[in-house]
Structure 1
Amino acid sequence: MPASHLLNLGFLEADSGFFVRGGNASTASNLHPEPTRRKLAMISVLISHPTEGLMLFETGAGKEYIWGEQLNDIFARVDYRPEHELENAIAKTGHSINDVKTVIMGHLHLDHAGGLENFVGTGVPICVHEVELKHAYYSVATKADLGVYLPKNLRWELNWQPVHGSSWDIAEGITIRHAPGHTPGLCILQINLRESGTWIFTTDQYHVKENFCDSVPQGWLARDHSEWVRTHQMIRSMAKHTNAKLVFGHCKETLDLYKQAPECYM
C-alpha cells in the first residue's frame, strides 16, 4: 500500500471574494463592509508507491513566482521561505525531486502547474485529464482565459500523458476522478492507505473549507456553477461512504490539522 507526505509549498494572500461567493459583498444594511483577505496554502502530495515509485500530485507556483506585476499584486505571495520550493519540500521527506517517477495534475492553473518546470525534458509522465490539457492550450492560444493558465507551464517538452473518462486508476490504491466546475478538466485524487484510510485531495474544486463544509460555492474564480454543484454532490457522497479525510486546494486551516513533511501517513 502507498504512503503519502503532505508538502507545504508556501502561501498566497488575496481578497476573500475570489474564494467564497459573496465574500466582501455590500448589503443594504452594510454598504461599506470591512474588506477581508485570506491567507491560502499551496499544497502538494508526495506518494511513495510500492510498485510505481514516487508519485507527485500537483507542483505549486514554481520558482521565483513569475506571474507578472498584476497577478502578483492580486495573489500576493507571503511568508516565503526557501523550504517552500518544490525540490526543497520533497527533500524534507528524504527523497530527491529527481526520484519522482510520475506527476499527476489536478488542473493546470498557474499556482498548481508552476513546478512542472522541474520536469521539462526529463521524460517523467505528466498525467492530466485530456479535457484539462485541451482547455489549457485553448485558453492560452486564444487568450480566452490567459492569466490563470500560463504558456510557460504548457511546454511541449513535457511528457504529457492524458487520461480519459470519469475515473482512472493510476496505480493500486490511487484513483483520479474527473470533477469539472472550477475548470472543465479538473480531477480530484483519491488515495486509499492501509492505516489512515481514504484521503481525497480536492485541488481547487474547493479552495477553502467553507466551499465543502457549508456548500458555499467559489467566488470570482468559479467557471461552471452547474458542473461545480454536480461535482460537489459526488464528493459529498464519496466522503460519506468512504469516511474520507479531505484536503482542500488551498485551505491553510485544514492543512494545519494534518501532519506535514517530513512526517507521513501510511
Structure 2
Amino acid sequence: MISALISHPTEGLVLFETGAGKDYPEVWGPQLNDIFARENYVEDQELDAAIRKTGNDIKDVKAVIMGHLHLDHAGGLEYFRGTDIPIYTHELELKNAFYSIATKIDIGSYMPTYLQFDLNWKPFHGDGFELAKGLIIRHCPGHTPGLSILQVNLKDSGTWIFTTDQYIVKENYESLASQGWFTRDHASWSRSNQMIHSLQKLTNAKLIFGHDRDVLFQYETAPNSYT
C-alpha cells in the first residue's frame, strides 16, 4: 500500500493516497485481513512515521490527492478528519464511494470510518485537473468509476506516474490478460489503459503501481527522495 509525498515549491507538501490507516487490522476484521495480511511489519511503515523519516510531520501536509477511495488506499484519511486540509478526488469517485456505503452495495471495498463529512472534500471534474505546475491528475476509470492517476513532472528525474489500482502490479500494465475482476468496467479500463501507455511513451515516465513492492523498491524510498 503505497503513498507518495511531494514537496511542491508553491503548494507545500502534497500527499498522494494514504494507505490503510494505522488500526486497519482491527477496523477491517479477519476476512479482509486474510487478503491484506501484514508481513515483516514494522512501525515506521505507518503513514505518519514514514513522513517523519523525510524530516516532515503529517501535520505539515497541505493537500491530499486520492487516486481512489478503496479502503486500502484511503484509510489514512483519518489523520485529516476535522482539519481544513483539502482532499482532492474525482467527483465520480466521491459519489460512488458514498453511494456504496449508504446502500451497502460495495461496503467491502469502501469503509464508513473514513468516508465522513468532517473531511474537506474537493472534487474535481472531467478528464483531468492540473492542481499545480507539474502535478496533473488524470481521470482513468475502470477499476472504479472515478479512479485517477497522478502525473508528477520533476526537473532532474523526469516524469513519474502513480497509477494507484489502475494497475495493481506490473503484470497488469504489461498484459491485458492479467486483469481479472479488478477491472470492474472493462471497456473504461481499456480506454484508460491506452491513454496511460501513450502517456508513458510520450514522457518516458517511471510507473509506480498500486501494490507492486518489487517495482517500488527499484527506487529510493523515504527518507531519500527525487528532484
Give the TM-score category using the shorter length. over 0.9
**Structure 1 residue ranges, 4+ long, deviating more than 3 angstroms after superposition:** none
Does residue 200 of the first structure (1) align with residue 184 of the second (2)?
A: no
**Deviating more after overlay: 227-236 vs 61-70:** 61-70
Give me the whole-angstrom Cα distance separating, in 2, the residues matched to 1:121 and 1:191: 28
1:115 partner letter: G
- Give, in angstroms, the shift of residue 77 of structure 1: 2.2
Q: Which of residues 125, 131, 139 is equivalent to 1:170?
A: 131
The corresponding residue for 1:45 is 4
| Structure 1 position 64 matched with structure 2 position 30 | no
* 1:121 aligned to which of 61, 82, 100: 82
Correspondence for 1:150: 111
TM-score (norm: length of structure 1): 0.83
Q: Paired residue for 2:215, among 254, 257, 263?
A: 254
| Matched-pair contact (CA < 8 Å) for 1:210–1:216 | no
> Comparing both structures, which one devotes a greater share of its residues to strand?
1
Of 185-194 and 221-230, the range deviating more from structure 2: 221-230
CA distance in 2, matches of 1:116, 1:261: 20
Matched, 1:140 2:101: yes
Q: After superposition, what is the alpha-carbon deviation per residue over 1:115-159, rounded to whole angstroms, capped at 9, x for unaligned?
A: 000000011000000000000001111111111100011011000
Q: CA deviation at 1:201?
A: 0.5
Task: Quote the residue 1:97 is aligned against.
Answer: 58
Structure 2 counterpart of 1:22: none
Contact 1:191 1:200 in 2 (8 A): yes
Given candidates 230, 243, 249, the residue that maps to 2:191 is 230
Comparing 220-229 with 102-111, greater Cα deviation is found at: 220-229
1:13-33: CA deviation from partner (whole Å, max 9, x where unpaired): xxxxxxxxxxxxxxxxxxxxx
C-alpha deviation, 1:220, in angstroms: 3.0
Q: Return the letter of the residue paired with 1:254.
A: V
SS at the partner of 1:134?
helix
Q: d(CA) in 2 for partners of 1:75 and 1:49?
A: 32
Answer whether contact 1:110 1:149 (CA < 8 A) is retained: yes
Deviation at 1:48, TM superposition (A): 0.1
Identify the residue that residue 122 of structure 2 maps to in structure 1: 161
SS, match of residue 151 in structure 1: coil
**Shift, 1:87, TM fit:** 0.3
TM-score, normalised to structure 2's length?
A: 0.97
Counterpart of 1:45, as a letter, is A
TM-aligned CA deviation for residue 217 of structure 1: 4.0
Identity %: 64
Shift of 1:172: 0.6
Aligned residues: 225
Distance 1:248 1:73 in 2: 21
What is the root-mean-square deviation of aligned Cα atoms in Å? 0.9
Question: Of the candidates 171, 175, 178, which is equivalent to residue 214 of structure 1?
Answer: 175
What is the CA deviation profile of residues 181-221 of structure 1, one whole-angstrom value per residue up to 9, with x for unaligned ones?
00000000000000000111000000000011233342233
1:128·1:163 contact (CA, 8 Å) conserved in 2? Answer: yes
Structure 1 letter corresponding to 2:7 = S
Contact persistence 1:59–1:115 (CA under 8 A) = yes
Which one has a larger percent helix, Structure 1 or Structure 2?
2
Runs (5+) with no aligned partner, structure 2:
none
Amino acid at match of 1:216: A
